[in-house]
């Protein structure tokens, strides 16, 4: 008898919660807001930002060079390297160098796999892993298999 009684009590509690709380309408004029959103999207369709694509070169001396091929130019760029499992991480602030490339100094790295993240104030490239340094990778939504 305890099982069915517990079910009845739980259903009454659920019914009371449903009646006592008001979900309410998200917005009274949801239709007008939807039309306004559609107009804004149509107006900004011509201003669509292209997805960024960049080539990242890790040199033997610890230099990192990022050449942005496509996308809006960032005001700042940051490179993050992490070991799988989060045992170790490094962050490199990059500065603009000759030819528009972003350059930073990573220092010496222990061999092994690293997770690479590149973020700017406007976008972030897809995350990938590298087997070791030195190497060169190409990242982006349309980077052709990267």
Q: Does residue 91 lie in a domain region?
A: yes
Closest CA to 74 of 105, 100, 45, 38: 100
Q: Does residue 44 lie in a domain region?
A: no
CATH number reported for the structural domain that contains residue 73 in this entry = 2.60.40
Element (H, E) at 13: helix 2-20
Could you tell me whether strands 77-82 and 63-70 are parallel, antiparallel, or unpaired per DSSP bridges?
A: unpaired
Torsion, Cα 60 67 124 136, to 10 degrees, reads -40
- 142's CB contacts (< 8 A; 6+ apart) are 51, 53, 70
Say if residue 146's pLDDT is above 50. no
Could you tell me whether strands 128-130 and 114-120 are parallel, antiparallel, or unpaired per DSSP bridges?
A: antiparallel
Task: Report the C-alpha gap between 27 and 79 in whole angstroms.
Answer: 42
Give the pLDDT of residue 142: 56
Q: Does residue 32 lie in a domain region?
A: no
Domain total in the chain: 1
Q: Does residue 12 lie in a domain region?
A: no
Give the pLDDT of residue 5: 94
Q: Which residue has the higher pLDDT, 139 or 13?
A: 13
Q: Helices (DSSP H) in 21-135: which residue ranges?
A: 30-44
**E runs forming strands in the chain:** 53-58, 63-70, 77-82, 89-96, 102-105, 114-120, 128-130, 135-140
Per-residue pLDDT reduced to its tens digit, 89-106: 888 888 888 788 889 988
Q: Does residue 61 lie in a domain region?
A: yes
Q: Does residue 6 lie in a domain region?
A: no
Q: Does residue 19 lie in a domain region?
A: no
Residues spanned by the domain of 121: 53-140
Q: Does residue 2 lie in a domain region?
A: no
Per-residue pLDDT reduced to its tens digit, 34-82: 888 888 877 665 555 567 888 889 887 888 898 888 777 788 889 898 8
pTM over 0.85: no
């Amino acid at each position: 008898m305890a099982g069915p009684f517990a079910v009845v009590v739980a259903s009454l509690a659920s019914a009371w919660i449903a009646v006592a709380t008001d979900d309410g309408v998200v917005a009274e004029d949801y239709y007008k807001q939807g039309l306004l959103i559609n107009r804004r999207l149509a107006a900004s369709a011509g201003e669509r930002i292209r997805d960024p694509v960049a080539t990242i070169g890790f040199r033997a001396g610890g230099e990192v060079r990022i050449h942005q091929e496509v996308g809006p130019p960032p005001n700042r760029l940051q490179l993050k390297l992490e070991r799988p499992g989060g045992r170790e991480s490094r962050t490199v602030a990059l500065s603009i160098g000759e030819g528009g490339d972003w350059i930073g100094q990573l220092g010496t790295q222990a061999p092994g796999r690293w997770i690479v993240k590149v973020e700017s104030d406007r976008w972030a490239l897809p995350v990938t892993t590298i087997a070791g340094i030195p190497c060169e990778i190409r990242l982006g939504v349309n980077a052709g298999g990267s």
